[in-house]
Amino acid sequence: MKSIILFLLIATSMYATKIVDVANIVGVRDNQIIGYSLVVGLKKTGDGTTSKFTLQSISNMLKAMNIDMNPIDIKSKNVAAVVVTAKLAPFARQGDKFDVTVSSIGDAKSLEGGTLLMTPLKGVDGKIYALAQGALSIGGKNDRGAGSESHPTVGIVFEGGLVEREINIDLYNQQYATLSLKESNFKNSVSIQQAVNNHYSTQVAVAMDPRTIKLKRPQNKSMIEFLAEVQDIDMNYTPKSKIIINERTGTIIAGVNIKVKPIVMTHGDITIKIKEGSLASQPEGSVVVDENLVIGLNENEIYTKEGTTTVANLVRSLQKLGATPKDIIAILEAMKSAGSISAELKVI
């Protein structure tokens, strides 16, 4: 399979964006809930007799229905033990429905065609916040028309969850609120402070640290109105320089203006020289890519002028020399370790 080198052209200078895109409101978030249950109605693709917890769960369920059955006497393969997980949205109210994910924890071959039995879903505090039940959808085209890869031991019950207990968040009566930046950055924290204060022509926002901004509600607005306006305010945003590498696929994503500092390094039969000075005296047989970049094809060398080299044109040159994605990734990682690249390098 052919690997692709992809460059996402992102300017590293400031640009305008809305506060809602870079900051969250503290306390307004999803909550994880989890439960254990059984999926029934399988076509002999459920857990076998080696999954003792499944047999015990079937026995316990039958006992609750006044049917006394010893687990060792249960031979059914139409049942599977599962863990049910979901996210409870902020401000979810009693009776609201949501999707739940159902995952096998035994040796079931498939959950296709199964029905999830009523499952209490608990939060980290051990309290029940929702119930889940319903028919599973597995892979293929789901009820909402979205295609997905088939995973026969994982399914979704669309709108199978039902909120029973609400998580109270009293925003309306609050005098203060807090914004949390999705990425810590001193400039962006101060930029939000300035944008909000300029919008209201008074001191309603204070940057507490590179991630936290404290807000004070104006007297003539409710907290809901205030936060809605704050999220829609434009600010000057400075993105963090990043190089993202996927070693499995050979994909590289980098900002177009990420500079490379002077360095001399060799990787296999490729030599890279980044230094100050003119490029006019390079070896015969060299190919001039532009006024700041020369490739010496006879010696497999790349010559660039210090101050003009970026990760983008460096990788372009390495491709011209026939370097593989694996080679390019190794070179970038080595440059980062040597201090030639100052941007954050993230391997996924």
SS3 sequence of 144-186: CCCEECCCCCEEEEEEEEEECCCCCCCCCCCCEEEEEECCCCH
Q: In this predicted model, what pLDDT tens digit does every residue of 82-130 receive, in sequence order?
A: 999 999 999 999 999 999 999 999 999 999 999 999 999 999 999 999 9
242 closest CA partner among 113, 336, 148, 132:
336
307 closest CA partner among 283, 267, 275, 338:
275
54 closest CA partner among 74, 34, 69, 84:
74
Q: In this predicted model, what pLDDT tens digit does every residue of 124-153 receive, in sequence order?
A: 999 999 999 999 998 754 444 444 445 699
Complete DSSP assignment for 50-100: T-HHHHHHHHHHHHHTT----GGG---SS-EEEEEEEEE-TT--TT-EEEE
Give mean pLDDT, residues 71-83. Answer: 88
Residue-level pLDDT at 146:
43
Q: Per-residue confidence at 262, pLDDT binned at 50, 70, 90?
A: confident
- In which residue ranges of the chain is CATH 3.30.1360 found? 15-27+170-237
Bridge partners for 287 per DSSP:
295
Query: 3-class SS at 253?
Result: strand
**314, 303 in Cβ contact below 8 A?**
no
**Who has greater pLDDT, 322 or 138?**
138
CA distance 40 to 94: 27
CATH architecture, range 15-27+170-237: 2-Layer Sandwich (3.30)
